[in-house]
Structures are given as C-alpha cells and as structure tokens.
C-alpha cells in the first residue's frame, strides 16, 4: 500500500454521514453510541460519506469519552476508569501530557518534513527505549495544550507535509486525537500519521478509521517470548498482525518500521521479515540499523552494544532474498 501524502485528509471526508440520531449525543448510552458509530463505519466502508446530517467525528469523540471510563483503547484492555484518575498499564488518566510539538525533518522521505506531536505514556515498556525521558517521566495531570498546538500548526502551515502523532505511542490518547481532529481548522490539510506500537484494540482501530491517513507501526519483535522479556507486553505478534490487517482494510497508507536489535536476528528480525514478505509485501517498509544501548538496555544480555557489521550485512541479504522493498536503502 503506497504511502500517499497528496490526497485530501480523511478527517475531512469522514465528518458527515447520511442518517439522523434519535437523540442528542449527550443523551446516548454507550451501547447506542457503539451502534451509531458502527452505522457510520459501515457507511464509510461503503463510500457513503459525502452527504448527510450527522457528524461521525462527533460520535467517535463521544464514544471515546465513554470508553475512557472503562478503557479498552489498546490490547491491554485494562478496563479502568481513566476519567476518575484510575491508571492502567500506561499510567495515564484522562489528560494527555505532551512532551513536544515541533517541526521534524528526520522521518522517512514519504512523510517528511512532518509536524510531530510527542505524547507521553506508552503501551509497551521497552528496556531499550530511545525516548525514555519523554515517554516514562511525565505529569499525568498535565493537560494537552490544544490551543497552543493549533496556533503552532497554523503558524507553520505549509512547512510540513504531514502531521505526526508520536510517542511513546499515541494509542492511549484516542480521545485527545479525536478532539484535535475536530478542532483543526480547515486550512490544515496535512495527512494525519499515527506513529504507533501497533497495539490498538479492535475498537481502538475502528475509532481511528476515517481519521488516520497513514499508519506508521513498529514491528519490533518476531516472537512473543522476546516481546515479553524486552518490552513487557503479552500477545505482541498477534496484536501487530491485527493492526496491520486493520490498516490495510481501512485502505490507509502504511509504513512499517523494524528496528534491528543486536543478537535478535534469528528470533526477531528474520521472522518479522518473513511475515512481512508473506502477507504484507504491498506495505512500505523501513528497516533501521540505528540501535544504540539506552535506558535499561544494559540489564538485558546482549543488548548493551551496537549492531556489528556482519549483522547488518546478514539483514541486507535477507531483505534482498525476500524481495522486500524499502523506503530508505540500508
């Protein structure tokens, strides 16, 4: 699936759907919101989104705020009431602490330059995290500075090709992302990129349908044992595959990233590349060699070093042998 950045952003297309709600949004129960969101999803999948009287984005936002009371945004499925300050795995309440908002030239060619919004908090706890200060050290009560972000985006409009939601991972912040999508002025047409862990739940993925233009998932580990040992998540490979399939089903752009880890070629890189070659050859791929031991990497045997030249060469041969095409040469 090519990474297309020239098309009209989906959030503009998804605003209106052709049916009336039986009551105002604030009066609808969780079950009713789910029903009407599904109606919108069916209509959107059928391409029936260009006329109508109901704001689908508003239904998404109302549903997401309800779900925050029993959070199931990601595969951890904590079911805590984040609106009342309960914390799940991600340690986030209803606020969305923002660690940075800036023009970023370092992403892949199809999406750069991008305006990056760095959300704190994460659905994984990687012992080798490269952004651990911004990701894990945050004030959970710090509100997302919506007005400042929008003013910055307006001021820099034209300087960035895409608008990237990064972290950590933006996945615990679906309510804030939808609020941002609703408040973005019409002149900000940059496609929305969700740079994420590929740990969205099925409902989280449905909520992003029609909003996210480009998914940028990490495919970090090729088996669940390494994923648990190094990132403290269970059912990892199933989650990534479900997220990739959903992104394809949404006909969004997809760019998959794989960070090669020292000593994890046979257990992680090889199975990841094989899976991509077998089922996702149409997706854009970036294989990354920039691993540096950071955060708690020294506590993991073998991770306290950079990649060796022989490891990089082995990966190059695998990419060639599996006929994978990369957005950036390695």
Nearer to ligand SF4, 196 or 257 (CB): 196
Give the start-end residues of each E strand in 171-297. Answer: 192-196, 214-217, 253-259, 284-288
Nearer to ligand SF4, 195 or 269 (CB): 195
Would you count residue 140 as binding ligand SF4 (CB under 6 A)? no
Which listed range, 26-34, 54-62, 83-91, 108-116, lies at the site for ligand SF4 (CB under 6 A)?
83-91
Torsion of CA 282, 6, 131, 310, to 10 degrees: 40
Which listed range, 82-90, 153-161, 213-221, 228-236, lies at the site for ligand SF4 (CB under 6 A)?
82-90
Q: Which residues pair with 166 in a beta bridge?
A: 118
Give the start-end residues of each E strand in the chain. Answer: 16-17, 54-55, 98-104, 114-119, 162-167, 192-196, 214-217, 253-259, 284-288
Which listed range, 25-33, 86-94, 127-135, 308-316, lies at the site for ligand SF4 (CB under 6 A)?
86-94
CA distance 327 to 330: 10
User: Binding mask 56-75 vs ligand SF4 (x if CB under 6 A, - otherwise)?
Assistant: ---------------xxxx-
Min separation Cβ 93 and ligand SF4, Å:
9
Enter the tokens of residue 251.
């006909």
Nearer to ligand SF4, 110 or 167 (CB): 167
Selected from 61, 80, 246, 268, the binder of ligand SF4 by CB under 6 A is: 80
Min separation Cβ 173 and ligand SF4, Å:
8
Nearer to ligand SF4, 37 or 264 (CB): 37
Nearer to ligand SF4, 63 or 80 (CB): 80
CA distance 31 to 311: 52
Min separation Cβ 64 and ligand SF4, Å:
11
Contact 127, 80 (CB under 8 A): no
Three-state DSSP at 180 gives helix
Q: Which residue's C-beta sits nearest to ligand SF4?
A: 88
Would you count residue 165 as binding ligand SF4 (CB under 6 A)? no
Q: How far separated are the first and last CA of the chain, in Å rounded?
A: 21
CB neighbours (10 Å) of residue 195? Answer: 26
Would you count residue 123 as binding ligand SF4 (CB under 6 A)? yes
Selected from 9, 40, 88, 210, the binder of ligand SF4 by CB under 6 A is: 88
Selected from 10, 37, 60, 76, the binder of ligand SF4 by CB under 6 A is: 76
Nearer to ligand SF4, 39 or 86 (CB): 86
Selected from 4, 38, 50, 77, the binder of ligand SF4 by CB under 6 A is: 77
Q: What number of chain residues touch ligand SF4 (CB under 6 A)? A: 15
How are beta strands 98-104 and 114-119 bridged, if at all?
antiparallel
How are beta strands 214-217 and 192-196 bridged, if at all?
parallel
Could you tell me the maximum CA-CA distance found in the chain, to the nearest angstrom?
64
> Which of the residues 171 through 190 are near ligand SF4 (CB under 6 A)?
172
Nearer to ligand SF4, 72 or 223 (CB): 72
Find tokens 């009407």 and name the residue: 36
> Which of the residues 90 through 119 are near ligand SF4 (CB under 6 A)?
90, 92
Would you count residue 89 as binding ligand SF4 (CB under 6 A)? yes
- Residues in the site for ligand SF4, rule: CB under 6 A? 71-74, 76-78, 80, 82, 88-90, 92, 123, 172
């Amino acid at each position: 699936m090519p990474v297309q950045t020239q098309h009209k952003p989906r959030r503009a297309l998804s605003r209106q759907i052709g049916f009336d709600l039986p009551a105002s949004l604030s009066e609808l129960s969780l079950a009713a919101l789910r029903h009407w969101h599904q109606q919108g999803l069916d209509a959107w999948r059928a391409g029936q989104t260009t006329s109508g009287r109901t704001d689908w984005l508003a239904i998404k936002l109302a549903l997401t705020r309800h779900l925050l009371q029993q959070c199931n945004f990601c595969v951890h499925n904590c079911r805590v009431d984040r609106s009342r300050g309960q914390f799940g795995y991600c340690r986030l309440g209803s606020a969305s602490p923002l660690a940075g908002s800036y023009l970023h030239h370092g992403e892949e060619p199809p999406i750069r330059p991008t305006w990056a919004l760095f959300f704190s908090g994460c659905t994984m706890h990687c012992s080798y995290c490269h952004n651990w200060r911004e990701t894990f050290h945050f004030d959970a009560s710090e509100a997302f500075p919506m007005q400042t972000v929008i003013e910055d985006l307006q001021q820099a409009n034209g300087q960035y090709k895409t608008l990237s939601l990064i972290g950590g991972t933006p996945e615990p912040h679906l309510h804030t992302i939808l609020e941002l999508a609703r408040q973005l002025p019409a002149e900000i047409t940059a496609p929305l990129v969700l740079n994420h862990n590929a740990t969205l739940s099925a409902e989280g993925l449905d909520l992003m349908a029609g909003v996210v233009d480009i998914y940028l998932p990490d495919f970090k580990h090729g088996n669940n044992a390494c994923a648990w040992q190094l990132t403290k998540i269970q059912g990892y490979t199933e989650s990534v595959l479900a997220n990739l399939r959903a992104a394809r089903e949404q006909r969004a752009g997809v760019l998959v990233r794989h960070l090669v880890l020292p000593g994890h070629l046979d257990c992680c890189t090889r199975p990841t590349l094989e899976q991509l070659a077998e089922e996702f050859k149409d997706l854009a791929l970036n294989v990354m060699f920039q691993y540096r031991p950071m955060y708690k990497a020294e506590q993991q045997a073998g991770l306290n070093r950079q990649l060796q030249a022989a490891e990089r060469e082995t990966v190059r041969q695998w990419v060639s042998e599996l006929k994978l095409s990369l957005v950036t040469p390695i």
